[in-house]
Structure 1
Amino acid sequence: MPIDKRSLSERDICTQFITPALQRAGWELATQVREEVSFTAGQILVKGRVVRRGKAKRADYVLYYRPNLPIAVIEAKDNNHAVGAGMQQALAYADDSDALALPFAFSSNGDAFLFHDKTRSGDATESEIPLGRFPSPDELWRRYCEWKQLTETAERAVTQEFYSDGSGKSPRYYQANAINRTVEAVAKGDDRALLVMATGTGKTYTAFQIIWRLWKAGLKKRILFLADRNILVDQTKVNDFKPFGAAMTKIEKRVADKSFEIFLALYQAITGTEEDKKTFKKFSPDFFDLIVIDECHRGSAAEDSQWREILEYFSSASQIGLTATPKETTYVSNINYFGDPVYTYSLKQGIQDGFLAPYRVVRIDFDKDLTGWRPEEGKKDRYGIVVEDRIYNQKDFDRSLVLDQRTIGVAKKVTEFLKGTDRYDKTIVFCEDIDHAERMRQAIVNENADLVAENRKYVMRITGDNPEGKAELDNFIDPESRYPVIVTTSKLLTTGVDAQTCKLVVLDRRIQSMTEFKQIIGRGTRIKEDYGKYFFTIMDFKKATELFADPDFDGPPICIYEPKLDDTPVPPDDINQSEPDDLGGLGELDADEDQDARVIYDPPPVGGIDIDTTAPKPRKFYVGDVQVSVAAERVQYFDPTTGKLITESLKDYTRTRVSSQYASLEAFIQTWTSAERKQAIIDELEEQGVLFEALADEVGADLDAFDLICKVAYDQPPLTRRERADKVRKRDYFTKYGDEARAVLEALLQKYSDGGIQSLEDLDVLKVEPLRSFGTPIEIVRRFGGKQGYLKALLELENALYAGAA
């Protein structure tokens, strides 16, 4: 008897028709076919302190020519759909800019396949093919090679597999995209390539896989990995690059041992202002055939830097630049040197995919920041120096003028926030300079004297001039090390520091550079689930987060470089908007630390010595007796649909989101009351960025999701949870049930009154008090004649709660 396909589920269609068709076409099910492939993690959705993940993107089938080469996606539908019903979904998953970046897409309902072929030009790109004529792996690969014009040598590199240690770890989809595109570009002869990947997305692991495949394929034999911080080189050597083993060395002490194949080097260790310091010239210009430059937006970006000299010396080598933040100004350009990025994976995409942590912003403005401050005539600072008479504003604070009470105010707000969350949450406070970082350390110590008494390292200053602080950097970034908890810094921690458990980033520093801003935000974007790190908070005291509203914040890098003549000076504004790049003669000072910040005013000795008012002006004035207070404070949230901050009020934002989903109050009520699970509607709205817990804090904590929406989106008078529960009790709703069932329903009604509709729809509610006292979940549902009877009674209870809402 023939099978009635229309009675089969989608999974049955896959098992009985699609998978056999693939097998007949020569696809190895064990190695070339993967079913139900989740390639994103599901966006993290934060509800107050409750965190959950949204839905992951999942393809029904992904087909692989080699384990490292996904080549096609298939979207299946049941037989009640047309053959091509899944094509748009398949194309969304295969799309170059959004997901798997695959050349071939298929849709099927078990009758045939609709085939979309991106490699075809001129002819129809979509055609229907019978089940028995699905293309073989070799056929699709041949089409791909012709489309990409791969030579035999390039094909050997492209098909070289990823490194695997047997643990099952494999690159995420975007890492595979970045690796495959870069390997393909280099294999085809491109000498320069730029990879742009947001902080926390695994650039170094991606670089390792690129090098591994090119090295194993024999295409590149001697490789140099360049970085500008020792910690970056050392972490790379012992972690991601460890599989290179004895083939790898770090160039140290200006010794050029040429017997290795993989070389890691610190820029500063192989170059300098003097010719005898330029260790890189001990290698011939053609010694390396591949150079990978980590954080290429830094020293090597400028044409006239000492570090660029290294790249130009080895100009015959293929060069790959890695960065989260390509530098593009009129005078410095990564794109001008490397070309347009071969692949970009942005912070916005990483958050939406669930691989990066979302954020919220607490914006705090002090009165003096908003109105400025002018000293009275003859006003002296705490060291007896007359303060220059002018209006000081936010640009001046902690640069030319210090208001001690402002520093204390920041320390109080940071401490207050941590006391409301967890006082052991790892925190970075970014300050204007080293002097500011030290004063901030002192202020935070005084606000947290109890925890500092337990361990003096609770608060530490980590800046380039301080060996004791820098020695604690490894402990701060180690998830298993409790101390230090709070660190104050200037620029030392802006980049290249893998602070996986950092939950609070404090900005008390004016930031004018988009590059620097992105790097600082990147300190919090890593997720560490086993340590409860799913999102982070940015506490902004100097309006730095206004840069989130800049179209360039998460947009594609655009080259605006204008070559300058040799004698054309770089405008000061352009210099000020980029972080220090070239070390020059900074010696032990870290590449990113502000050297001038160490030149601070030295107070005169005590003892009545007259002050020479004709002496040079101090670098800063220090004023301790001016009161500073908080003028405004607001919380902004990450919008999961746009990737931007929610800058309108929470109520207005909710109203916009709900009205885009439900055209009227009647439409919302009808959907709500007819839904078997109200939680499904709540989840859908949360996916759209509606923050119910934050709304409850603002509008009324005793309102459930239904009444919050009715009040905020449609201006309807709400009922509290208790009022809704009391109305049900007054109707004698439970009289049709026996005593035992009535007792359960009464307990459920109380649960609703305490916690809202979500607490009813979770069967785990039967495992907690007071429900647990009625017996096991199985024993409880038996009081209603079984599970279906219980669910029916629960649905009737919910309907009773919202009866008359229309």
Structure 2
Amino acid sequence: MTKNISESDTRANFIDPKLSESEWDPVHIVREYYFTDGRKLLGDKRGKRLFLDYLLKYNNTNLAIVEAKKLSDHPTKGLQQALDYAEKLRINFVYATNGKKIYEFDRRTGKGDYIKDFPTPQDLYHRLFGSKNKLKEQLHNIPFLLTGNFKPRYYQEIAVNKTMESIADGNKRILLTLATGTGKTFISFQIVHKLLQAKWNIESENRRPRILFLADRNVLADQAINTFNPYENDVIKIDGEEVRKRNGVVPTNAFIFFAIYQAIAEREDIGGYYQEYPKDFFDLVVIDECHRGSANEEGSWRAILDHFSSAVHLGLTATPKRDDNVDTYKYFGQPIYEYSLKEGIQDGFLTPYKVKRVKTNIDEYIHTNDSKVIQGEVTKDRYEINDFNRSITVKQRTELVAKTILAQIGKMDKTIVFCSNQDHALDLRDYINQYKTVSDINYCVRVTSDEGKHGRELLEAFQDNDKDIPVILTSSKMLTTGVDARNVRNIVLTSPIGSMVEFKQIIGRGTRVFDGKDFFTIIDFVGATNLFYDAEWDGEPEDPKDEGGGKDPQPPRKPKVKEPGEPYERKEKLIVELSNGRQLKVTDVDTRYIDENGKPLTVREFLEKLIGELPAIYKDEEQLREIWSNPDTRSDLLEKLGELGFDNEQLNDLRNMIATPECDIFDVLSHISFSSDLMTRKQGVKFVKDDVQFFDVYENLKAKDFLEFILKHYEEHGIEELQRDKLGDLVKLKLGTSKDAKTAFGDMKTLLGAYYKLQKNKYRAV
């Protein structure tokens, strides 16, 4: 009898009552809790979403997972999957049940056993956190401040709760590592909200805390201020303008203070504004993009952090631990929570990407007397790709790169081009505007610190998803961090990147999710994407080399602070003009596809993956011919291929690898599936034309000419010209009007039949 009881009936009649008996009220239970969106696939589709049968919550904290099976199943049948989900969600208690037996697994001990009843919410909470830490319970009890139907993502909840628990445990240095585009500012806001509501402060007084939010760029600070809008009456920005308005006195009448470190740090002959605050003024200092304070980066928080050393310091970074980020981790310690780019893409919260590695015939320069030196002097015989636009500029190469960018992107696809420096960004902008086909003056603009307010306005317009213009931004370092532009379709690398930290930040500019954006493309002219093959690209972070030998952690070293908007130092570069006889060209565009584990695939690896998928779509060559020979069923097949992740561009790359662009995609599919011979479109057209009987059916000479015209058009332009919706265009091109078409074929039905028969004849077996 129990075999006929379904899982849903088991939940309703057996599991739910047991939870209720243990005081789990409806407010504590989330049924079928979906916690990922599913990896983004082509065609605006999604992969499988992960979900739990039951999520048990108490005091705004996720406490346990319940994996349900039907009454006749073994109670622990789904335990392993539940444990995997618990690891992802950082939940310690996992229960597996078939309604009759309950199995409890505690991930902290790695052990499990059968229990009679579910524990109560209070018992489970106290088992996890203890009964003595009242502050932890108070901070958990404050719900997120949300607007509309917005719900936090699971990793955002984890990050906030882990931070609350760390503060309640008395930790003074806290680090969160979350991939770019995952909402670090939203997480910061919820942390600040909870602390303000709880009136937490380092002195345990009955007052709201004072919090300093530090960024290294105005655009980041301003974006953060917008996020904190619900607390707008409690927010103030510390900068020169605000201090001047107060007759030289720093503002103190707020709870949330925003600043860029350049505006409050010491500069030559100018004292830092931060020194005018008492050392114990702030209770919490939040340092956005804190990795930029590491030894080899341009930003440093050292003097400011030293001054406010009694405060809790919360560092936010997108970069896992590695040698070039060592100071950050020495200062803050191990991250209390990490969420990687790979996880974000797998969960569907970030957009996947593909890579186009572009090579030209001037990726190195050897000077000869044929070339003209415009500026500077030749200091070595051979200049490599790392030298371009730094120590040497070859104008024609910059021009070639600009033309190639336009050829590789969609005309209105929002694109960020990362350049070597501000002058290089100007040169590329000018060449792109020279060859663009869109007349708007702001189609391509430079956004760097030199542009000041006007540049920030252009950046805001670029970020506005309701505006088409600007389409292309050229920049150097300004846009590497924190700029939230969700509809970026292309990231173009025209300057070598030596730091994995910087590389991850740049790639993050394209990962934000936007409707209709299935992936973004990284177009690489300098080989920077070789960093994807670095073992530390997105794997488990390793401890950096210990250089401290047990010493107390020190804040990052302090480089010279640069004035906001100060022009960078320009050294005279070698500028050469090539001889007129030198023909520059792109020699190769190597496309790499990213698999579900974040690993770049060569086209050959991609082919092997494709071969494994194809048998599920058609069983033999005859069925493939039948499908392909009809424009309607062919369109359905191409759509199915797209759902599997193989769009037209990928199929064309596949064709170019194993055959030539003159081959039909049908022949490529048939070749890799059934080892059939490859045939060019020209050979296929000849095969049809040699069938005299097919053409003799149509007595009107114009009808025969039209069918031959279709074949010629197909031979030159490919299978896209044989789509059903192309017939009208072909009639206009060759016959003129629909009346002319009726004259040639008798009626439109005969014309349509001829169009379909022509294709059936084209794809019949040889």
How much has 1:413 moved relative to structure 2? 1.5
Change in CA separation of 1:308 and 1:651 when aligned onto 2, cut-off 3 Å: closer
Q: 1:251 to 1:269 in 2, by over 3 A?
A: same
Contact 1:158 1:187 in 2 (8 A): no
Three-state SS of the structure 2 residue aligned to 1:36 is strand
Shift of 1:350: 0.2
Give the equivalent residue in structure 1 for 2:751: none
If the length of structure 1 is used for normalisation, what is the TM-score?
0.73
Distance 2:7 2:143 in 1: 33
**Retained in 2: the 8 A contact 1:331–1:563?**
no
Please give the alpha-carbon distance, in whole angstroms, between the structure 2 residues aligned to 1:117 and 1:562. Answer: 34
- Please, which of 441, 451, 459 is the counterpart of residue 429 of structure 2? 441
Match of 2:55 in 1: 62
**Match of residue 549 from structure 1:** 533
Q: Which runs of 5+ in 1 are unaligned?
A: 566-577, 600-617, 670-678, 723-753, 760-806
Q: How does 1:618-697 map to 2 (within 5 A)?
A: 618-625=572-579, 626-640=582-596, 642-647=597-602, 649-650=604-605, 652-654=607-609, 694-695=650-651
1:37 is aligned to 2:41: no
Paired letter, 2:576 = Y
CA distance in 1, matches of 2:646, 2:16: 40
Question: Per-residue CA shift, 1:357-409, capped at 9, x if unaligned?
Answer: 0001111101121xx332224743246x6645611221222222222221121
CA contact (8 A) 1:150 1:188 kept: no
Specify the SS of the correspondent of 2:601.
coil
Listed one character per residue, the Cα deviations across residues 114-153 of structure 1 (whole Å, up to 9, x for unaligned) are 221235x4xx8322234xx22211121121123xx86222
Q: Per-residue deviation at 1:503?
A: 0.5
1:712 aligns to what?
672
1:708 and 1:15 mapped to 2: Cα distance? Answer: 53
Following superposition, the deviation at residue 43 of structure 1 comes to 0.2
What's 2:199 paired with? Answer: 218
Task: Report the secondary structure of 2:539's partner residue.
Answer: coil
Q: Percent identity?
A: 38
1:391 aligns with 2:382: yes
Correspondence for 1:466 among 443, 448, 451 = 451
Match of 2:188?
207
Question: Compared with structure 1, are the counterparts of its residues 10 and 693 closer, same or farther at alpha carbon in structure 2 (3 Å cutoff)?
Answer: farther
RMSD: 3.6
Q: CA deviation at 1:553?
A: 1.2
Q: 1:280-300 CA deviation, whole Å, 9 max, x = no partner?
A: 122111111111100101136
Deviation of residue 80 (structure 1)? 3.8
| Distance in 2 between residues matched to 1:693 and 1:435, nearest whole Å | 34
Deviations 1:422-461 (A, max 9, x none): x11111111111111111111101111x413xx2001111
Structure 2 partner of 1:293:
287
Q: Give, in angstroms, the shift of residue 581 of structure 1.
A: 8.4
Structure 1 contact 54–687 (Cα < 8 Å) conserved: no
Map 1:163-562 → 2, pairs under 5 A: 163-165=145-147, 167-220=148-201, 221-238=209-226, 240-253=227-240, 254=243, 255-274=249-268, 276-299=270-293, 307-325=301-319, 328-329=322-323, 332-369=326-363, 372-377=364-369, 379-382=371-374, 387-388=378-379, 390-418=381-409, 421=410, 423-448=411-436, 450-452=437-439, 455-467=440-452, 468-529=454-515, 532-560=516-544
| 1:140-173 CA-partner distances (Å, limit 9, x unpaired) | 1121123xx86222322233322233x2322100
| C-alpha spacing 1:330/1:299, structure 2 compared with 1 (3 Å) | closer
Please state how far the C-alpha of 1:586 moved relative to its aligned partner: 3.4
- 1:101 aligned residue: 90
**Inter-CA distance 216–432: structure 2 relative to 1 (3 Å threshold):** same
Question: If the length of structure 2 is used for normalisation, what is the TM-score?
Answer: 0.77
Letter in 2 for 1:310: I
Aligned counterpart for 1:110 among listed residues 99, 102, 106? 99
Distance 1:429 1:144 in 2: 49
Output the CA distance in 2 between the equivalents of 1:587 and 1:473: 17
Structure 1 Cα separation of the partners of residues 423 and 162 of structure 2: 46
Counterpart code for 2:181: G
Change (3 A) 1:62 1:267: same
Kept after mapping to 2: 8 A contact 1:379/1:387: no
Structure 2 CA distance for partners of 1:719 and 1:28, relative to 1, 3 Å: farther
**Does 543-552 or 229-238 show the bigger shift?**
229-238
Alpha carbons of structure 1 residues 518 and 330: separation in structure 2 relative to 1, 3 Å: closer
User: Distance between the aligned counterparts of 2:273 and 2:189, measured in 1?
Assistant: 24
Judge conservation of contact 2:429–2:445 (CA < 8 Å) in 1. yes
Residue 76 and residue 697 in structure 1: after superposition, are their counterparts in 2 closer, same or farther (change >3 A)? same
Q: Distance in 2 between matches of 1:713 and 1:347?
A: 35
8 Å CA contact retained: 1:41, 1:354: yes
**Residues 295, 405 of structure 1: CA spacing in aligned structure 2 closer, same or farther, 3 A cutoff?**
same
Aligned length: 643
Query: Contact conserved, 1:654 with 1:690, CA < 8 A, in 2?
Result: no
Instruction: Look up the equivalent residue of 1:57 and give its one-letter code.
Output: L
Name the CA distance, whole Å, in 2 between partners of 1:345 and 1:497. Answer: 19
Distance 1:685-1:191 versus aligned 2 partners, 3 A rule: farther
Whether contact under 8 Å (1:226, 1:267) holds in the other structure is yes
Whether the 8 Å contact between 2:178 and 2:318 is mirrored in structure 1 is yes
Q: Which of 109, 130, 139 lines up with 1:157 in the alignment? A: 139
Change (3 A) 1:709 1:71: farther
C-alpha distance in structure 2 between counterparts of 1:657 and 1:192, whole Å: 50
SS in structure 1 of the partner of residue 309 of structure 2: coil
* Cα pair 1:350 1:356 within 8 Å, conserved: yes
Alpha carbons of 1:145 and 1:682: their partners in 2 closer, same or farther (altered >3 Å)? farther
Task: Note closer, same or farther for the CA distance 1:332–1:55 as it changes in structure 2 (3 Å cut).
Answer: closer
Letter in 1 for 2:381: R
Unaligned 5+ runs, structure 2 = 202-208, 244-248, 550-555, 624-634, 685-718, 725-766
Report the residue type matching 2:575 in the other structure: F
Residue 321 of structure 1 aligns to a residue whose secondary structure is: strand
Contact 1:696 1:708 in 2 (8 A): no
Q: Per-residue CA shift, 1:689-731, capped at 9, x if unaligned? A: 7779724662499768xx98885377577999x9xxxxxxxxx
Q: Distance in 2 between matches of 1:501 and 1:713?
A: 37
1:79 CA drift (Å): 3.0
Distance 1:542 1:276, change over 3 A: closer
CA offset digits 1:277-327 (Å, max 9, x no partner)? 211122111111111100101136679976211111111111110011257
- 8 Å CA contact 2:211–2:283 kept in 1: the answer is yes
* Cα distance, 1:324–1:304 mapped onto 2, change above 3 Å: closer
Q: Which residue of 1 aligns with 2:748?
A: none
Question: 3-state DSSP class of the match of 1:523?
Answer: helix
Partners of 1:118 and 1:150 lie apart in 2 by: 22
